[in-house]
Structure 1
Amino acid sequence: MSRSNHGEFVDPVRQVDAEGLVNVLGNPLDKDTFRDHWTMLYIGKPGCDESCRTSLDKMRQVRLTQGPEMSRVITVFVIVGAGDIGHLSEYLLTQQNMLVARLQEDSSEKWLKPYIQKDGKSPVDTRRVYFIDKLGQLMMYFELDGESKEMDKTTGMRKDLKKLLYDSKIG
């Protein structure tokens, strides 16, 4: 049986929002930040090691390959845990309009829950890029650990996003 998607569908989709997230200045994000556009989201730690940076680079590249449609997509890096992120400042400037948010400690368990998939792994400890549709529904994710035999994972993400944008009845 052939399948046309490269990512894993979240079944059932889960409603998510930005409640409990603050920007780098400490100001709360609007609860509906993930609405009215497609969102590619990565969850990581303040240290953001090389694999974290590679994941963020892949998200940026996939967004840029959408050409005129890229304005319909935002990229978000959610930082979980205490720790200084000053060392990331220069790197994050290269990420072209990526929204960087920090999860408030008192909100972390509730906020992370929808991102836990069937394997039960914490989203902080996985290298996953999550797709959120324009209605704020978590609907797909890409596992970036390991190698894909069929194609580069960035290519799979790019193809799925292009198809979602093209087929979308919600904009």
Structure 2
Amino acid sequence: MKSVLKASVFALTTAFAAGAFAADYNVDPAHSSVSFVIGHLGVSQTLGQFRKFSGDFSYDADKLDTSKVSLVIDTTSIDTNYEPRDKHLSSPDFLDVKQFPELTFKSTAYKGDANGGELTGDMTLHGVTKPITFTLHKVGEGKDPWGGYRAGFVATTQIKRSEFGITNFIPGVTDETDITVRIEGVRK
């Protein structure tokens, strides 16, 4: 009887431990952001963000090669704190949000450790899909006050918008665009 009890406790402990490390998360948009910086006329930089997005990720600190991320950004939610510029950026001159209402990212690989590394994936912007690599940094993880569990990351990259077919006003508006994604996920 003792060995049956020990075997049952071991099996439950092993099952719990495996589930404790491998987890799926939903992106919490209230505590996450997708922002960008682009140069203007060689004299300044413009900061913008997308207000609406959703996504999820799987994260296993012991099996990082199985981690994955999926993000969908509503391009109509662009916000640079100046409505006339937002309308212009939404037009066919730039994002053409009527034809391309979403920007997506789906990861394909991760190289690094549990604290950070390089996250590679396919980004689709303006109807063009290209591989890009984010530098990823883990901010932290832990229990929240409501009985849930959260994990947070910051990812940065630079793209050339011309590679996605957005070429108007180069070089006045720089080709290079810095992107920062701050994600807080709630474990499912």
Report the TM-score, using the length of structure 1 for normalisation. 0.23
Q: Which has the higher strand share?
A: 2
TM-score by length of 2: 0.22
Q: In proportion to residue count, which structure has more helix? A: 1
Higher gyration radius (CA): 2
